[in-house]
Amino acid sequence: MSPGLSWLLGDQVGRDGMLCIFQNHYYQPLWTLVGAGAKQLAPSSRPTASVIPSGVKWIQSRVQKLDPDKNCVHLENNQKISYKYLIIALGLQLHFEKIKGLPEGFNSPKIGSNYSIHTVEKTWKALQDFKEGNAIFTFPNTPVKCAGAPQKIMYLSEAYFRKTGKRSKANIVFNTALGVIFGVQKYADALLEIIKARDITVNYKYNLVEVRADKQEAVFENLDKVGETKVYQYEMLHVTPPMGPPDVLLNSPVSDGAGWVDLNKETLQHKKYPNVFGIGDCTNLPTSKTAAAIAGQSGVLDKTISSIMKGKTPSKKYDGYTSCPLVTNYNRAILAEFDYNAQPLETLPIDQSKERLISFHMKADMMPYLYWYGLLKGYWGGPAPIRKLLHLGLK
C-alpha cells in the first residue's frame, strides 16, 4: 500500500473474549488440534505488540461507533478519530449465551468448545475423561467462522477413541443445523464416505438450544418441525456457539440488514462509501469465513486500495477463494479449496478430496508458519500464484 501513517484499533472484544484480548493475538485454526491433544495451546498465542507492523500506531481502545458520513470512528472515553480511508476488520462475535445453560455450563466437566481460548482445553479434558455413552458435536443455526471445525474435532475424537480402545463404547453423533454435511459436493461426498465407514450418526436440521450440564443433557430443536425438541444424554459434548457480527456493526450505516459489512464481493470496497473497505469474518462476502479466505482477500484489498489512492479504478477481483483443511485423523486431512460458486479451486495437482498425510502437515505445521511470517507481514496473499504455476497456468 501507499506509505504513510496507519492506525490500528484494538480488536473488538466479544462476550467470550474473542480473538484478540488486546495484549495477546491468537492463531485460532490451531485450536482444532489443541482440543484433540495434538498440539499445545501456547504456540497459538503471541503478544499483539510483536505482530503489529512498524509505522503503525496501535490504539488500544474499543470502537463504539462508525460514522462513514463524517469519515470518523468513535472510541471509548469520547475519543474520535478521523480517516481518509477505513478498513473494517472487526471479526465476529461468539454467542454462547444464546444457548440456555451456557456459558456457565462450561464449569461442569464433559463439555468443551474449540472456539474459545477459555474452553478449548476443556474439549481435550472431556475427550480424555470419556468412558461410555454419547459423544455429541454441534453446528449452530448461524453463520460461523471455519465451518469445517465442528466436524474436524468429531473425526479426531473418533480416532482418539479407536486409539485408546474406547470406540466400542462411544456413540458418535453430529447434530447440525445445516441440511448438508459440507457445502461443496466433491468434499461432501468424501466426508460422507468417512462418516459411513466410521459409523458416525449425523442428524441434519438439529440446533442446540439448551445444555443441562448438571444432568449431562443437551436439548436440540428440530428446524424442520417447529416446536419439536429432542433431549440427548451426553458423556462428551463439543459446542459450536451461535455467532454474529460485533455489536458495533448492528444497525451501522456500513452494514447490511443482518449486521455484516456490506461490500462489493469482487473489490472488497463498500457498496455505498467508496473510501470504506472490509475484510474477513465481519463482512457479507458470500464465502466461508476462514483464515485462507482472508489471505486471498488481503491480496485483492491491497491492490484495490492502492488503485483508489492513485485515482484509478480497481481491476483485481476476489473470486471467493477459501480453504478448509478437514482434519479426519491425527495424520490425515482433506484439503478443501473452493470459490464463490462452491466449485473446487485446488492448488495441488492431485485430488485433494482424498485423505492425505501432506494435507495434514500443511494444516498442522505449514499454515501456522504462513500465518505468523507470511499473512501478518503482508507477504502471503493466498496460493493463487502457486496454483497457476503447478497447473501450468490452466487454473
Q: Which residues are catalytic?
A: 146, 324
Q: How far apart are CA 40 and CA 30, in angstroms?
A: 9
Tell me, what amino acid is at 26?
Answer: Y
Cell of 367: 499454515
Please give the order of strands across the beta sheet that includes 170-176: 111-112, 236-238, 133-139, 170-176, 201-204
User: Cis bond leading into 103, ω under 30°?
Assistant: yes
Q: How far apart are CA 91 and CA 115, in angstroms?
A: 13
Cell of 366: 505449514
The closest alpha carbon to 290, from 278, 299, 281, 298, belongs to 281
The closest alpha carbon to 117, from 40, 200, 31, 32, belongs to 31
| Cβ-contact 322, 147 below 8 angstroms | no
| Cβ-contact 135, 171 below 8 angstroms | yes
With the CA atoms of 95, 96, 97 and 99 taken in that order, what torsion angle do they form, in degrees rounded to the nearest 10? 110
25 beta partners: 20, 46
| Cβ-contact 163, 191 below 8 angstroms | no
Which string of b and e fits 46-83 if b means at least 16 CB within 10 Å? eebeeeeeeeeeeeeebbeebebeeeebebeeeeebee
Checking DSSP bridges between strand 56-59 and strand 6-9, what pairing results, if any? Answer: parallel
In sequence order, the 6+-apart residues with CB closer than 8 A to the CB of 241 are 16, 94, 95, 96, 98, 99, 102, 113, 115, 116, 140
